Amino acid sequence: EFGDRRAKAEKMFGLMDGFLKNDSISLQKDILDHVEFTVARSRFNFDDFEAYQALAHSVRDRLIERWHDTHQYFKKKDPKRIYFLSLEFLMGRSLTNSVINLGIQDQYADALTQLGFDFEVLAEQEGDAALGNGGLARLAACQMDSLATLDYPAWGYGLRYQYGLFRQIIVDGFQHEQPDFWLNFGNPWEIERVHVSYPVKFYGTLKEEVLNGKKCKIWIPGESVEAVAYDNPIPGYGTRNAINLRLWAAKPSDQYDMESYTTGDYINAIVSRQKAETISNVLYPDDRSYQGKELRLKQQYFFVSASLQDIIRRFKDLHRNFDEFPEKVALQINDTHPSISIAEVMRMLVDEEHLDWSKAWDIACRIFSVTIHAVQPEGLEKIPVDLLGNVLPRHLEIIYEINHRLMEELKKSFGQDYDKLSRMSIIEEGAVKSIRMANLSLACCHTVNGVSRVHLETLKTRVFKDFYELWPQKFQCKTNGVTQRRWIVVSNPSLCSIISKWLGTEAWIRNVDLIAGLREYAKDPDLHTEWKNMKRVNKMRLAEYIETLTSVKVSLDAMFDVQIKRIHEYKRQLLNILGIIHRYDCIKNMDESDKRRVVPRVCIIGGKAAPGYEVAKKIIKLCHAVADKVNNDPDVGDLLKVVFIPDYNVSVAELVIPGSDLSQHLSTAGHEASGTGCMKFLMNGCLLLATADGSAVEIAEEIGAENMFLFGAKVDEVPALREKGTTLKGSLQFARVVRMVRDGYFGFKDYFKSLCDNVEDGGDFYLLGYDFASYLEAQAAADRAFVDQEKWTQMSILSTAGSGKFSSDRTIEEYAEQSWGIEPCKCPF
Ligand code: CBF
pLDDT in tens, 659-688: 999 999 999 999 999 999 999 999 999 999
Cα of 135 to ligand 1 centre, how many Å?
Answer: 5
User: pLDDT higher for 211 or 827?
Assistant: 827
Mean per-residue pLDDT, 766-784:
97
C-alpha closest to that of 681 among 708, 658, 704, 652: 658
pLDDT, tens only, 378-419: 789 999 999 999 999 999 999 999 999 999 999 999 999 999
Strand partners, 541: none
SS (H, E, C) 253-315: CCCCCCHHHHCCCHHHHHHHHHHHHHHHCECCCCCCCCCCCHHHHHHHHHHHHHHHHHHHHHH
Residue 108, Cα to own-chain centre: how many angstroms? 29
pLDDT score for 16? 47
User: Which among 156, 315, 301, 305 has a CA at the least distance from the CA of 242?
Assistant: 156
List all residues whose CB is within 6 A of at least one atom of ligand 1: 134-136, 139, 287, 373-374, 451, 480, 672-676, 694
Distance from Cα 373 to the centre of ligand 1, integer Å = 5
Identity of the amino acid at 712? G
Q: Which candidate in 60, 138, 565, 608 is catalytic? A: 565
Note the pLDDT of residue 727: 62
By the 10 Å C-beta count (0-12 exposed, 13-18 middle, 19+ buried), 368 is classed as: buried
Residues in the chain: 829
Ligand 1 nearest atom to the CA of residue 371, by list position: 1
Q: What is the DSSP letter of 486?
A: I
Q: Which helix (H) or strand (E) holds 24?
A: helix 24-37
- Which atom of ligand 1 is the closest one to the Cα of 374? 9
pLDDT category at 15 given cuts 50, 70, 90 is very low
Nearest to 514 by CA among 522, 505, 524, 501: 505
Q: What's the whole-number mean pLDDT along residues 189-216? A: 92
For residue 577, the one-letter residue type is: I
Whole-prediction pTM value?
0.96
CA 751 to CA 631: how far, in whole Å? 21
Distance from residue 64's CA to the centre of ligand 1 (Å): 32
Average pLDDT over residues 164-173: 98
- Predicted local distance difference test score (pLDDT) of residue 286: 85
Let me know if 726 is exposed, middle or buried by CB neighbors in 10 A (0-12, 13-18, 19+): exposed
What distances in angstroms separate CA 184 from CA 40, 162, 163, one per listed residue? 17, 9, 10
Ligand 1: residue whose CA is nearest its atom 12:
675
Segments in 151-293 forming alpha helices (H): 259-262, 266-274
Active site (annotated) includes residue 571: yes
**CA 359 – CA 362 distance, rounded (Å):** 5
DSSP line for 578-634: HHHHHHHHHHHT--HHHHTTPPPEEEEEE-PPPTT-HHHHHHHHHHHHHHHHHHT-T
Atom of ligand 1 nearest to the CA of 373: 9
Q: Which of 298, 337, 347, 571 is catalytic?
A: 571
* 243/266 Cα distance (integer angstroms): 43
Q: How far apart are CA 130 and CA 567, in angstroms?
A: 17
Q: Quick one: pLDDT band at residue 762, thresholds 50, 70, 90?
A: confident
What letter represents residue 218's amino acid?
A: I
Residue 697 alpha carbon to ligand 1 centre in Å: 16
Amino acid at 60: R
In this prediction, residues 327-352 reach a mean pLDDT of 97
Q: Which residue's alpha carbon is nearest to atom 4 within ligand 1?
A: 136
Cα angle for residues 441, 447, 448 (degrees, 5° grid): 60
Instruction: Give the residue, out of 87, 284, 370, 451, with the most ligand 1 atoms within 8 A of its beta carbon, to mutate for a pocket test.
Output: 451
Whether 209 shows a pLDDT value over 90: the answer reads: no
Catalytic member of 566, 624, 641, 810: 566
Q: How far apart are CA 434 and CA 442, in angstroms?
A: 16
**pLDDT at residue 638 greater than cutoff 80:** yes
What residue owns the CA closest to ligand 1's atom 15? Answer: 675
Mean pLDDT of the chain: 95
pLDDT for 379: 81
More confident residue, 38 or 216: 38
pLDDT digits (tens, 9 = 90+) for 416-455: 999 999 999 999 999 999 999 999 999 999 999 999 999 9
- Tell me how far the alpha carbon of residue 670 lies from the centroid of ligand 1, in angstroms: 13
Q: Is 250 helix (H, G, I), strand (E, B) or coil?
A: strand
- Testing ligand 1's pocket by substitution, the residue of 88, 373, 572 carrying the most ligand atoms inside 8 A of its CB is 373
pLDDT value, residue 637? 96
Ligand 1 centre distance from Cα of residue 162 (Å): 24
Given a contact cutoff of 8 angstroms between Cβ atoms, the answer to whether 117 and 50 are in contact is no
Among 88, 138, 139, say which to mutate for ligand 1: greatest number of ligand atoms within 8 Å of CB: 139
Q: Are strands 382-384 and 434-436 parallel, antiparallel or unpaired?
A: antiparallel
Distance 259 CA to ligand 1 centre (A): 47
- Decide: 241 and 66 in contact? Cβ < 8 Å: yes
Q: Is 680 in the active site?
A: yes
Between the CA of residue 321 and those of 349, 353, 355, what are the distances in Å?
11, 10, 11
Ligand 1 center from residue 368 Cα (angstroms): 20
Measuring CA to CA, which residue among 782, 396, 730 is closest to residue 559? 782
d(CA 345, CA 197) in angstroms, rounded, equals 18
**Residues 177, 612: Cα–Cα separation, whole Å:** 11
Sign of the Cα pseudo-torsion (746, 747, 752, 757, in order) = positive
Q: Whose CA is nearest to atom 6 of ligand 1?
A: 135
What whole-number distance in Å separates Cα of residue 825 and Cα of residue 829? Answer: 12
pLDDT digits (tens, 9 = 90+) for 247-290: 999 998 876 566 666 777 888 878 877 888 899 999 999 877 66
Count the helix, strand and coil residues of the chain and give each as a percent rounded to the nearest 5.
55, 15, 30
Distance, CA of 8 to CA of 38 (rounded, Å): 29
Ligand 1, atom nearest to 138 Cα: 2
pLDDT at 533: 98
pLDDT digits (tens, 9 = 90+) for 66-118: 999 999 999 999 999 999 999 999 999 999 999 999 999 999 999 999 999 99
- The reply to whether 676 belongs to the active site is yes
Of residues 289 and 585, the one with the higher pLDDT is 585
**Residue-wise burial string across 199-221, b where 16 or more C-beta atoms lie within 10 A, e elsewhere:** ebbbebeeeeeeeeeeeeeebeb
How are beta strands 662-665 and 640-645 bridged, if at all?
unpaired
Q: Residue with the nearest Cα to atom 2 of ligand 1?
A: 136
Catalytic residue among 608, 680, 805, 810: 680
Atom of ligand 1 nearest to the CA of 133: 8
Best probe residue, ligand 1, of 335, 676, 693, 815 (max atoms within 8 Å of C-beta):
676
H or E stretch at 561? strand 559-564
Find the DSSP H helices in 492-524. 493-503
10 Å Cβ neighbour count for 747? 14
Catalogue the E-assigned strands of 112-211. 129-131, 154-159, 167-171, 174-178, 191-202, 205-211
Average of pLDDT values for 750-779?
Answer: 95
Ordered DSSP codes for 737-759: HHHHHHTTTTS-HHHHHHHHHHH
pLDDT band of residue 7 (cuts 50, 70, 90) is: low
**Cα(675) to centroid(ligand 1), Å:** 6
Is residue 38 annotated as a catalytic residue, yes or no? Answer: no
Q: What's the rounded Cα separation, in Å, for the pair 479 and 807? A: 10
Statement: residue 579 has pLDDT above 70: yes
DSSP 388: H
Q: Which residues pair with 503 in a beta bridge?
A: none
- Give pLDDT, residue 276: 82
